[in-house]
A = this chain, B = another copy of it.
Amino acid sequence: MDISGLLTSAGINISICAVLFSLYSVLRKQPSNASVYFTRRFISEPVRHDDPFDIYRFVPSAGWLMRAWKATDEELLEAGGVDAVVFMRIVVFSLRIFIIATVVCISLVLPVNYYGRDMQHKSLRVEPYDVFTIGNVHEGSKMLWAHCFALYVISFSAFVLLYLEYKSITKMRLAHITGSHPNPSHFTILVRGIPWSQDRSYSKSVESFFSTYYPNTYVAHQMVYRPSTVHKLKKDAEKMYRMLRPIETEYVRGDKPCYLCGGNAHTFKVIRHGEDGFRSQTTIDELHPTQIEKECPAAFVFFKNRYAAVVAAQVLQSSNPMLWVTQLAPEPHDVYWSNLSIPYKQVWVRKISSLLCALAFVFVFCLPVTFVQGLTRPDVLTVWFPQVKGLLKNPFINRVVTGYLPSVVLISLMYTVPPIMMLLSKIEGNVSRSERKRSACIKVLNFTIWNVFFVNVFSGSFIEQVSVFSKLQELPFQLAKQMPDQAAFFTTYVLSSGWASLACELIQLYNLVYNFILKFILRSKEEPTNMALTFPHHTEIPRMLLFGLLGFTFAILAPLILPFLLIYFSLAFLVYRNQLLHVYVTRYESAGLFWPVVHNTTIFSLVLTQVIAVAVFALKLSPVVSGATIPLIVFSLLFNEYCRKRFSQVFRRNPAQVLIEMDRRDEQMGREEGFYNQLRSEYCQLAYITRDLTISEDFSRAGPNRQHEDVVENSLKQGMHACSESFEPITDLIEYWLSNFQELSILSYRNSGRSGTDSPETCV
């Protein structure tokens, strides 16, 4: 590919981006699209403001870019939590390091490459791309010191920036722990591997274990039930809902009060364990044996203070490490209930199996990628498809097919990967949604690095690629040989995959179309409220890191890629800020657990870059330069080890000092009445199942936080009490249904809205 080919590709992408960005700026002004582009605000206030027609609504504008730019980190933290800020830190880090890299490499390395060989330079327009790569520097050149110097500058800038980021994110994580008002997950541990006993239930075992060994701090516990049991209850609920629906449609519509009692119509009583009224006096051991069977050997255990919980979570409980396995509980919204019922003994087998599946998937995926890579070479293409030979003679079509099409095919293929990895992470048995997403993120990341980077560099057959990896000492040399040749491909990859993915991210095509069909074709009057998505860290972080890897590895080999990357990261900064502020909701968060992954991957990228540089210098017959680069590798590894020692523990375990101080502060201020009861209700399995049932609405009324529960709950309680007499047969049914569930604490079941949507999967 020559420079004009590259410019064609850039031109296509710039125009596509410009069009899509303009389109976005128009679409976001349409009130009907509020649910797509302002989902965050919309779900808390789902009212459609039908503005009067205004020509201004159809004029593209750039105001949103300015607003995204001006938003502060505090706003972002409030909107998206620590994870959103961490994601933006990745972008900011990439921006900073590639600004440095661009300045150094364009001013120093690019001229060296261009004038690296005594040759007659053609017009810049038709100059082949290779002239700008290190391939153009002649063997044994003293100018390779420039590359070595640039590598040192980039590496040390990266170390400094990485250290500062790790430090500030650790601080942010600690601030998140200390800053939040009492977080139920700090007082709660998840116990798995409860031993089976013939003569008593799991619940009784848990109670006896913790009241024996933690008598002063143990408060209560909450069993996890088999999903089938919960599922049956959910089914019953749906059936009942269908029974009630016609009555509702007939008599009470919308938010009108029940005309019998004045309360809200058809809202059911909230039964809270330990309260008066519907309080069930039966304990689990008085229940029917079949009910005991519904328990899983897992439970949430609540403690008096944070320190007690963290101790119980970090200490080895039993002399059999497969029993009484404890960990700090995930936040209530973060719990992945369906995986809690997996016996702990299975978890390690599941982890290994899913790892093997992921590995197998990575290798199987090589085949289509190899096919795509073939598209970049017209000679291969004409062998595969002789009929396109004529078409390829047209230089424009040739450029599009060889320069642009491969990336498009690759991106489309890549879209199938995250859902599959997500599924594997589910099978793995992760107990929290954030953990599942993090696990998927790591899988997608490894997949991407292998299948986009390595497979494309070694653009041979599958067997060839594997054989390259089997000769480990030759790998750097193979990379060094192949990479300059593949620089053009990766530059267009940045242009197409990078820029276009940002535009797609902005447009939210799927939701836009869904919204359009719903409103203008199906002519639904209801606002679609199930579009609330959490931020897809597991697709976006690997993408960022892949571009980081490309940037580092090509920085000194083919610096021409850097300006395009810089544009990508600048756009990403604006686009993702906008999206995090307006589109994505935060239902759970890992409080920065993604950062260690990012840090490790960046170190991997740096070390890979340095190893390739050593090999390149060696191939260029400059052993001294090559040798001078080796200390950098050692330093990178030492730096990584230092950061691991210095920071990573805080991401795995909560420090006692911090928690004890929080506990003391709480004690001084006095804990609010009924806090421990509230703790229990937070971790109620049924509450989450029913919440999933009505997820869209819950969000639509009071936002995705704790308070909405209370709002719903209080209003329901009154309504239910008042209505219960007039609907006696139904309340009987409900009571029977509720009595099935011993530890039931809250059931919010609303009288309007869609039921039974499988929204959890859309909200992952």
Contact = CB atoms under 8 A, between A and B. Distances in A.
Nearest to A308: B311
B321 A174 contact: no
A319 B352 contact: no
A126 interface: no
Given A213-B660, A348-B642, A319 B473 contact: no
A705 interface: no
Interface in A315-347: 315-322, 324
A556 interface: no
Contacts of A653: 315-316
B470 A657 contact: no
Nearest to A661: B213
Given A213-B660, A348-B641, A314 B314 contact: yes
B656 A317 contact: yes
Interface in A335-377: 348-349, 352
Most buried by B among A648, A649, A656: A656
Contact of A321 (B474, B638, B645, B660): B645
A273 to B, nearest CB: 29
A655 interface: yes
Most buried by B among A314, A474, A645: A645
Contacts of A310: 315
A153 B349 CA distance: 24
Contacts of A694: none
A638 B471 CA distance: 27
A322 B645 contact: yes
Contacts of A638: 349, 352
A636 to B, nearest CB: 13
Contact of A657 (B311, B319, B652): B319
A654 interface: yes
Contacts of A473: 470
Nearest to A345: B645
Contacts of A657: 213, 317-319, 324
Contacts of A315: 310-311, 314-315, 653, 656
Interface string A632-663: 00000010011001111110111111101000
Contacts of A352: 638, 641
Interface string A466-477: 000011111000
Interface string A218-231: 00000000000000
Contacts of A649: 316, 321
Contacts of A472: 470, 472
A473 B474 CA distance: 14
B650 A316 contact: yes
Interface string A288-319: 00000000000000000000001100111111
A297 B646 CA distance: 17
Given A472-B472, A638-B352, A641-B352, A319 B213 contact: no
Nearest to A212: B660
Contact of A647 (B311, B316, B321): B321
Nearest to A349: B638
B658 A321 contact: no
B470 A650 contact: no
Interface string A654-690: 1111101000000000000000000000000000000
Contacts of A652: 316
A470 B658 CA distance: 48
A311 B349 CA distance: 30
A611 to B, nearest CB: 15
Interface string A545-560: 0000000000000000
Nearest to A213: B660
Given A310-B315, A470-B472, A470-B473, A321 B646 contact: yes
Contacts of A316: 314, 649-650, 652-656
Nearest to A311: B311
Contacts of A654: 316
A197 to B, nearest CB: 15
A638 B652 CA distance: 26
A318 B655 CA distance: 5
24 contacts: A170-B319, A174-B319, A213-B657, A310-B315, A314-B315, A314-B316, A315-B315, A315-B653, A316-B650, A316-B654, A316-B655, A316-B656, A317-B656, A319-B655, A320-B646, A321-B645, A321-B647, A321-B649, A321-B650, A348-B642, A348-B645, A470-B473, A470-B474, A471-B471
The 10 tightest CB contacts between A and B, nearest first, are A321-B649, A316-B653, A470-B473, A319-B655, A315-B656, A316-B655, A311-B311, A318-B657, A348-B645, A314-B315
